[in-house]
Amino acid sequence: MNRRRAAEGFTMRLAMTPMIDVVFLLLVFFVCTVRFERNEAVYRLDLPIRGSTADPLALQDAPLQVFVGERVGDQCPIEIRADGVRRETKDFDALAITMTQLRRKAGTNEGLFESSHPILIVPSAGSQWQDAVEGFNAAVRAGYANIGFTQSTP
């Protein structure tokens, strides 16, 4: 029998065609369905919580407020307000620098506010979410840790 097959030139070969078909189908499926996520990153947020059971008699620091206005062209009005402090900045880099200057440095008398001092970002109703997050980012860059958003101003 074997001799006859050898004589007839019979050879066993793996059928590659269906395998290649399946491989390419899988490849096309993955190429079509894959979605590469961009570098999504996060900020920890401290929202002012309604109805929290904080001690009403406890003295709390007045928050440092960062007002973010409505953008007109390239300009976005930004203002920092706190007890005895009122400063305007022209952009978010300047905001980060100003807030860094206001932060108390460890072991020195420089700065007014501890890094744990509450910071409230107060965007105006018409301001863009991008600018609100830029304000938040500036506070994080300046080294503050207790930052939240509050209700918009009209």
Partner 1 sequence: MSLLYSRGPARIDANLTPLIDLAFLLIVFFVLVARMGGDQVPPVALPEPRHPATTPAGSRSRLAVNVMADGTGTIVSLGARKFARDEKGTNDLALAIAERIRLDPSIPVDIRADRSLRYELVEPALQAISRAASQVGSQRVTIRVCAIERDDLGREATDHE
Picking from 100, 111, 116, 117, the residue whose alpha carbon sits closest to that of residue 62 is: 117
Is the CB of 1 or the CB of 125 nearer to partner 1?
Answer: 125
Is the CB of 6 or the CB of 19 nearer to partner 1?
Answer: 19
Query: Which residues, 6+ apart, have CB-to-CB distance to 140 below 8 Å?
Result: 43, 147
The mark string for 5-44 relative to partner 1 (x by CB under 8 A, - otherwise) is: -----------x--xx--xx-xx--xx-xxxx-xxxxxxx
From the list 104, 140, 145, 146, which residue makes contact with partner 1 (rule: CB under 8 A)? 140
Q: Is 128 one of the binding residues for partner 1 (CB under 8 A)?
A: yes
Q: Is 136 one of the binding residues for partner 1 (CB under 8 A)?
A: yes
Angle among Cα 136, 142, 146 to the nearest 5 degrees reads: 60
End-to-end CA distance of the chain: 95
Is the CB of 16 or the CB of 58 nearer to partner 1?
Answer: 16
Q: How far is the CB of 2 from partner 1 (least distance, A)?
A: 25
User: Letter for the amino acid at 104?
Assistant: R
Q: How far is the CB of 97 from partner 1 (least distance, A)?
A: 5
Residue 118: what are its φ and ψ, rounded to 5°? -65, 135
CA 136 vs CA 62, 84, 115, 139: distances in Å: 18, 22, 14, 5
Q: Is 74 one of the binding residues for partner 1 (CB under 8 A)?
A: no
Q: Which residue has the tokens 């970002």?
A: 121
Residues in the site for partner 1, rule: CB under 8 A? 16, 19-20, 23-24, 26-27, 30-31, 33-36, 38-52, 92-93, 96-97, 100, 105, 123-130, 132-134, 136-137, 140-143, 149, 151-152
